[in-house]
Structure 1
Amino acid sequence: MAKIGWQLEVILPRPGEWSVIGRLGPPLVFALWLSGCGMIPWLAPERDPHPPSPLPPLAQEQGLVVSWSAQPTRGTEGRQLRLVPALAAGRLYVADAPGRVVALDAGSGRELWRRETGLKISAGPEVAGERLLVGTSQGEVVALSLQDGQELWRTSVGAEILAVPRYRPDPSAGGRVIVHTLDDSIYSLDAATGQIQWRVNYPPPVLTLRGSSTPLLTEDGIVIGLAGGKLVKLSPSDGLPLWEVVITRPGGRTELARITDIDADPIWVGETIYIGAYNGDLAGVQDKRGEVLWRRKLSVHAGLAADAEGIYITDSEDQVWAADPRDGAGRWKQDQLHYRRLTAPAILGNNLLVGDLEGYVHLLAKRDGALIGRARLAKSRISARPLVAEGRVYIYGEDGTLCALQQP
């Protein structure tokens, strides 16, 4: 596979992946929806201008062994949510849109307990000490018992949550829950009680993609990507900004062309934070100072992964890239999975994993991006990044399928 340089094209979001938010009155909001509809081909009665690529033949194939497979939940019910598996102490936790939360033995897939919460869960779960955290479409953060799923507390934060709540142990404060809401508010909650400790709000642009960047917890701060292309680092104790930096400035003549949201999760390796913006740039940012070390034009939406050897990115056209962590220079591009609605990459040893819209998981070689394996594990889309932990890979599909894989 030939090495190539970087290229950026403006790609419109897919159905359901944009929304109008802000403080405008209803008539203006409605007008924006109408003006946007006329510009977006997939809202017209026409064929998809970017149909998914057919599955390419594999020159070589390396298998993944399914250790177990189950369908413990009803998944996302066709909605764009941030439901992901969480692993702790040999247990795997998953949640679904109607409010079911299930704990399973990670080794065997045996169900340990389930709880019908009645919540409209939109993000999570996250393990927080002896608690399990979820966010809801109604703007609530809810803590459940790890032992049986019983509700311990709930707190309203006023806006839908599409980023996984994060838990930060804090000896002086007893632990904090960091929440990023769809309106770009960031909250710190007391992990024991749910009481709000502080709130910071960054007013979003009028038009933004439907999604939020999950907070990254570093040694001394909280790093969050925002709509409009800004990356911020906040103090855990009071939410005051330690630094703010613009990754990509909005440009273009229309509101759609000016979308530069950071919905990808920041990745922290060593002293560098890697991040990408939709319609914008991939960047490396120095953690302590917030200095942008380099930028490369690349539209990022699903997300990225990184280690000491490289950065691996799923771009907005569902191409997978590898880049040099020192300067962002492109190493290779895998374009045979075009428009298959890929997940962010997950690193598995010398390989990468991505899920797609038909429930396939694809295995790529890290060295050159070659496709070396695939397996269909779910009947619908896999949108959650594969979870790699303790020698296994856990896959959670939007139909509620949960699988554990291992390399032979």
Structure 2
Amino acid sequence: MTKTILMCTLLATALTGCQSIKSFGKSEKVNTKPASLTKLEQPISVLSPVFSVSLPESKSLKKGVNKKDVIDLQVAVVNGTVIAGSRSGVVSAYQGNQAIWSVDIGSPITSGVGANDDVAVVGTRTGQVVAIDVANGQILWQKFLPSSSLAPALVGNGRVIISANDGILYGLDLQNGEQVWQFSTQNPEVSVRGTAKPLSLDNQTAIFGTADGRIHAINPRSGSPLWTRRIGFATGASQVNRMSDVDGTPLIMGRYLYVPSYSGQLAGFDMSRGRLMFTAELASTKSLAMQGGLLFGVSVVGDVVAFDAMSGQKVWENNELKYRKLTNPVAIGDYVAVGDLDGVIHLFDSAGKIVSRSETKGQLTSLYVIDDRLYTQTANGVLSVWQSN
């Protein structure tokens, strides 16, 4: 059987119009038209724009990139410098709204930017991995893998770790790009291929989610397996209904680990005791956020949900943004933010009420917060930075 991978762009496309969608193993006919936004009665000011720029496109490849493709090209922030890649293959670094360097790598970028203090890494549609000097934009090395990746690389501890679309995790030498090890996982015939990067737990442990509903822990230096946990449990007769991907980057808060799955299970673990704290109901391909003892997630149909981080009990749920192709939630200041298909950033208060909105140009694919600044990149290549008031 020919292997079929349903890319995240196809999932986004599928959530428009009127069709059958999966609901915890069952199919039902629903209207999936994006919800209209209602006017906020007394909006408050939460975010102030710092700068916004359009990322440069490759002159040689511009015509070869399908503008309808929605790819989550996550940015990296290194000591205040923002590094971003455009779909057509240009990687640029910004301090404020000034570009300090740009480099055309000659191939469409699919993975977003992974970085440490010295090296930024991107992956391309052809499986090419490119390492770039953060200081000056010089290409340090290039490596071709058998498969491409949609997830940013984990860079550090002497390794570049790539979670590829063929279900294999590749460990490359940070200095020269040579392959040191590979770790193979079960790759289902049909999956929602997501953008969750491998995550460093400590110098001896990296964790990552897979398309078969599991999270794995490995030694980042050797690739040796440490432990595996099953998160997603698929139900239903068809391969589509049995998808159980773990596509959101796991959230680690102290000794606690939180992971959602596409098949509808949200799990919380106490790593110090090696035990499961709770499972709750949330079908999601997005990373989670935490603030003030609450855990926030976004469902595949656009519900924003808050859970008690210790018990998994649902605290509130907001359904005003149904089918608006929401990003991951992030905590910023006293609020939680999500972005949508129209470039609107919605900010929720602690009770689950939308109290503020900010706008950029183009569909938002992911949000990133560091030091009270929110970083966004739209599907059409607009990079924006916002400051929490």
The TM tier, using the shorter chain, reads 0.7 to 0.9
The equivalent residue for 1:123 is: 111
State the Cα distance separating 1:384 from its structure 2 match: 1.7
More strand by share: 2
2:143 is matched with 155
1:207 aligns with 2:197: no
AA aligned to 1:53 is A
Counterpart of 1:17?
11
Q: How does 1:349-360 map to 2 (within 5 A)?
A: 349-360=333-344
Are residues 1:221 and 2:205 paired? yes
Q: Give the match for residue 233 of structure 1.
A: 217
Asked if 1:165 corresponds to 2:153, the answer is yes
C-alpha displacement of 1:349? 1.8
- Give the alignment partner of residue 277 of structure 1, picking from 243, 261, 267: 261
The answer to whether the Cα contact below 8 Å between 1:143 and 1:154 also exists between their aligned partners in 2 is yes
Map 1:13-52 to 2 at 5 A: 16-17=10-11, 49-52=31-34
Distance 2:314 2:337 in 1: 19
Aligned equivalent of 1:6: none
Residue identity opposite 1:351 in structure 2: Y
Which residue in 1 is equivalent to 2:133?
Answer: 145
Deviations 1:311-368 (A, max 9, x none): 1101111111111111211101111111111100011021011110001111111x11
Supply the distance in 1 between the matched residues of 2:306 and 2:19 (Cα, whole angstroms): 30
Query: What RMSD in Å do the two structures reach over aligned CA positions?
Result: 2.4
User: CA, structure 1 residues 164+15, in 2 after alignment: closer, same or farther (shift >3 Å)?
Assistant: closer
Q: Which residue of 2 aligns with 1:405?
A: 386
Matched residue type, 2:106: G
Q: What TM-score results when the alignment is normalised by the length of structure 2?
A: 0.88
Match for 1:86 among 46, 60, 76?
76
- Measure, in 2, the Cα distance between the counterparts of 1:291 and 1:18: 34
Alignment of 1:311-322 (within 5 A): 311-322=295-306
Shift of 1:249: 2.0
Equivalent position amino acid for 2:300 in 1: S
Q: Distance in 1 between matches of 2:30 and 2:359?
A: 23
Q: Percent identity?
A: 27
Q: Deviations over 1:99-154 (max 9, x none)?
A: 0111111xx31121212221221112122332211011111221012233222111
Superposed displacement of residue 407, structure 1 = 3.0
* 1:303 aligned counterpart, secondary structure: coil
Contact 2:198–2:206, Cα closer than 8 Å, also in 1: yes
Q: Distance in 2 between matches of 1:307 and 1:138?
A: 39
Distance 1:286 1:140, change over 3 A: farther
Aligned pairs for 1:100-119 within 5 A? 100-105=90-95, 108-119=96-107
Q: Cα deviation per residue 1:45-72 (whole Å; 9 max; x = unaligned)?
A: xx99301100122133122221222112
Does residue 1:346 correspond to 2:330, yes or no?
A: yes
Measured in 2, the distance between the counterparts of 1:198 and 1:308 equals: 40
Q: CA deviation at 1:41?
A: 5.3
Gaps of 5+ in 1: 1-11, 20-38, 170-174
1-structure distance, mates of 2:305, 2:286: 12
Contact kept in structure 2, 1:243 and 1:289, CA below 8 Å: no
Match of 2:60 in 1: none
The letter for the 1-side match of 2:113 is P
Residue aligning to 2:376: 395
Q: Distance in 1 between matches of 2:67 and 2:230?
A: 35
The runs of 5 or more residues in structure 2 that have no matched partner are 1-5, 22-28, 58-64
The one-character-per-residue Cα deviations of 1:241-276 (angstroms, maximum 9, x if unpaired) are 211111122221111110111111100011111000
Question: Contact 1:183 / 1:203 at 8 angstroms: preserved in 2?
Answer: no
* One-letter amino acid of the structure 2 residue matched with residue 260 of structure 1: S
Displacement of 1:76 after TM fit?
Answer: 8.3
Would you say 1:54 and 2:36 are equivalent positions? yes
1:111 and 1:53 mapped to 2: Cα distance?
A: 37
Aligned length: 364
> 2:51 pairs with 56, 59, 68, which one?
68
